[in-house]
Structure formats: C-alpha cells, structure tokens
Amino acid sequence: MPPLKLAVVGGGPSAFYVASRLLSLLPHHQPRGADLKIHIYDRLWAPHGLVRYGVAPDHPEVKNVTHKFDQAAADDRFRFFGNVQVGPQSSHIIPHALSLPLDALSQHYTHILFATGCTIPTLHDVLPPSDRIQSALSLVHWYTQHPSHSNPPPLDTISHVTLIGQGNVSLDVARMLLSGSSALEQYDVPEVVLDVMRRSSVRHVSIVGRRGPHQAAFTTKELREMMNLKDASLLPIDPAVLEPPPDAKLSRQQSRILQLLQKGSVNAPRSTPKSWSLDFFRSPAAFSQLPSGKLRISLAHTALDLHERAISTGETSALETDLVVTALGHHADPAQAFYDPALRHLRTLSGRIINPLGRAVKNVYASGWAAMGARGVLASTLLDAYAVADTIIADHFPGATGATTSIAPTAPPAVSEERLTAENVVLNSIPAAVEQGLEDGRVVGYEQWKAVDAEEVKRGAEKGKERERMGWEEARTFLARPV
C-alpha cells in the first residue's frame, strides 16, 4: 500500500481529533499504520487553537481535552510545527510567523487537511470598527493573549458596555467584564489582563438581540453562570416578552432558559454595584458619537415573522453607551484556498474539498469550522473530525476489509484531474524552510510546547493560579535558554 502522509493546516481541536482518530485506527503493528505520518502546521506558536485562545478562562474543565491531544502527540508518527503560516497572507497575519506557500508544503505530502477554523469576526452593517466599536473576538484575543491581540479596551474610563448578539461568546464577554479581577485571579488570566480589570469602572452591560428569549443562542449553563454572578444583578425583563407563543412546543433547553429568566438572578435587581440586561427584540439601526465621547445607538424594535425572522416594527429607541462589542459569529478567512464566499467557509462535501465544478480535489479535505462554518461545540467538532478521518481512510484504502469504522463514509463524488498533493513522498521529509525555522528557534515543535506548558503552570502555581501565560518573545527566549 502507498504511504498516507497527511499535512494538517491548523492546530485546533478539529486537527487533533482527526490525528487522534487516524493514529488509533491505523496502529503501528498493522501494515497500513506503518507508513502513516501526520504533521500539523499552525500559524500560532502554541497548539490547540480555540481551547487555548477561545475558551473562557473561568471554564478550565473544557481544556481537559488537551490530555487527549497530548496522547496523539506522543505517537512518533505525529509532529507539530507551530508559528508557521501556510498559504496566502491575509489581513489577520501573525507578524512573527514563518510564511510558507501552500505549494512548498504540498510537495511533501500525499494528503492535506484544512482545519483552519473561522478566524474572521462577522461585523454589523451599521457598526463599523473603531476605538469604541470592536468585535468580541478582539476582546477574547486580548484576555487570552492571542498572538494577534490588539490594545486592551479602555475599561478604566467607561461604565457602560453594549454587546450586540446573544450567544455564548456574548455571555462569556459579559461575565468577564462583570466578574471582577478577584474572581478571576485563580484562573488562566494573564497578569497584564488582570491589571486592566483591576482598574475597570464598568458598571453595566447591555446584551442586545434582534429576536426573543426563545431564539437566543446562549445555553442554559452560560445563562445560569450569569445569574449567579456575585456582584451583579439582572435588570427586570418585561414579563410579556417571556411568554411563549400560543401552542409553542419548547425544547428542553428553551424551557429551562425561560424558567431561569422568569426567576431572575440570585441578587435582586439593582441590589449590587454592577448590573446587566437582556434587551430582546432590538437591532442596531444607526449610531452617532456624542460630544461627551459616548455612543448613541438607534435600536429598531423587531418582531418575528412566521419563519421566526426578525423584522422591524417601525418603532425605535435610543441607547447611550461607552463601548459597543459585536458578537455576531465568525467566518473563514477569504484568503484561504477553496474559500466559498456564498458559504463563508471552505467548499466541501462530506469532508472532501470540492472545486467550483463540484468535483473533489484528490486527497484534499477539510474538517471542523473550516468545513462547516462557525457552529457547534467541542462534542460536535469531535464527531465531524472522526467522520472526516474515516473518509480519509476509506478513500485511501478503497474496498479494504476493516478499513472503515462504524461511521459509514459517504459515496465519494467525482474526482477532479487536478492534484494538489504529491504521489511519491519521502516519509520523514518536511519543507526546507520549516527545517531551518526549527534550527533558528522560529518554529515550535510539540516537545518544546510541552516545556513552555510546564513552565507556565509552574509560574501560575507560584501565584496561586492555573497558569501564567507567555507571549511569543518570552516563549522563544525561554526555549533558547541553556539546558
């Protein structure tokens, strides 16, 4: 059998789940597993993507999935190369990352998997980015110290923040702003972030959504955490808004959310130094900046049509605020190969990359948000990744007994004559630029990451917290130290 040498572009959960699945289904002792190699390339110097740079710091249990990723990385058929930007540069570049053209990578591999996620925030038409209007992603990048993070928000000079969007990310940001530094000091929050939070003067967060409580995208768990905030309380919601439509059949989650909203926060309204509100059936229609520096947002009042789409009622109201944060989802980077502007992610069919004519590009795949769009949680990412891994095996070993698993692969589409990957490869080869990057200390391997990881945990323990993060320059200096 020919070797299966897979390059994975992107180093988040989906990438590691695919690697883990392939390594477990094609073990060393089987002939099919002897010639398996999996190399993950990530533009970030540290692995694990959203697990490190997206999960809220006060949700440490979610990060336990990295133990499974460590197990995959321990297999000698696996390698990780961090701080390598594969493909064209976009406007969201990591300045210190090694740039590697896709064709320089593909000549070393028989298969390529894109697990590049959705890295671009979706913006609101009437709220262009400015110093007072930013995406939730920029705030998340700041408090997780993502390599592309921008300046900290001016929390010491503002009292009112308005979030546009009512999903889990919106509630994460609201919880971070309202929790206070003392509640976050034990978690994986860098000291530079805590220093800003200690000076915060934020007293109220408005969470605005164009639809109602029955359509809200946040989960029961996230809402309950907001209700239980120690120093904040939920402002009253109009009881009429919480009434389910006649003959409505609510899901279990909808019913539980409704019960939580009707009960309210553990602290009585206005009994705490901080507060928050859920402003349903409101959609930004315009904004202006006042001489005081505050923003005035015109909110269109909305109602639902028969298809539960938000439509304007013709009424409006105004909201004055200091900072607007849009939390409206994400899409893939348009600079990525095989990006489909209509889908706003890569063009795929059952995990296979499809060209504009609807034919599969031989041995080229995508998984996770890169393939599905920015939706779902880690559990759904795992299921998708496993299915894509099974498809890779079924395509590489057609008709072989025991090649597939319990997840039945779909019938492959017609395959294009174009080929991105190589037919004959050297199993242990990597691009020369990456080899040089390893020697220069610019590219990070998984063993080096584990050394940084251990040091971060050690530094955190000295401060009574989960870990103290390093940035790229500090990590590079640490790794270059004499052993």
- Between CA 148 and CA 99 the distance in angstroms is 15
Query: Mean pLDDT across the stretch 420-434?
Result: 95
| Percent of all residues in the chain with a pLDDT value above 70, rounded to a whole number | 97
**List of residues 6+ apart from 470 with CB closer than 8 A:** 452, 455, 456, 478
Whether pTM > 0.75 for this model: the answer is: yes
Over the stretch 276-316, which tens digit does the pLDDT of each residue have? 999 999 999 999 999 998 999 999 999 999 888 999 999 99
Q: What is the pLDDT of residue 151?
A: 87
Query: Mean pLDDT across the stretch 450-477?
Result: 97
Q: Which CATH superfamily, name and number, covers 4-119+331-444?
A: NAD(P)-binding Rossmann-like Domain (3.40.50.720)
pLDDT band at 406 (very low <50, low <70, confident <90, very high): very low
Out of 219-223, 316-320, 377-381, 397-401, pick the least confident.
397-401
Domains in the chain: boundaries: 4-119+331-444, 123-326
- Between CA 174 and CA 276 the distance in angstroms is 8
Q: What are phi and psi of 144, to 5 degrees?
A: -105, 0
Residue 150, pLDDT above cutoff 90:
no
- Between CA 182 and CA 451 the distance in angstroms is 29
Q: Which residue has the higher pLDDT, 406 or 282?
A: 282
- How far CA 357 is from CA of 348, 361, 414, 429, 461, in Å, comes to 12, 10, 10, 33, 55
pLDDT band at 91 (very low <50, low <70, confident <90, very high): low
Instruction: Please check whether the domain covering 123-326 is classified as CATH 3.50.50.60.
Output: yes
Mean pLDDT computed over every residue of the chain: 94
Residue 80, pLDDT above cutoff 90:
yes
Over the stretch 309-343, which tens digit does the pLDDT of each residue have? 999 999 999 999 999 999 999 999 999 989 999 99
Q: What is the pLDDT of residue 410?
A: 60
Over the stretch 243-276, which tens digit does the pLDDT of each residue have? 987 878 889 999 999 999 999 999 999 999 999 9
Structure tokens at 403: 């090649």
- Between CA 244 and CA 308 the distance in angstroms is 13
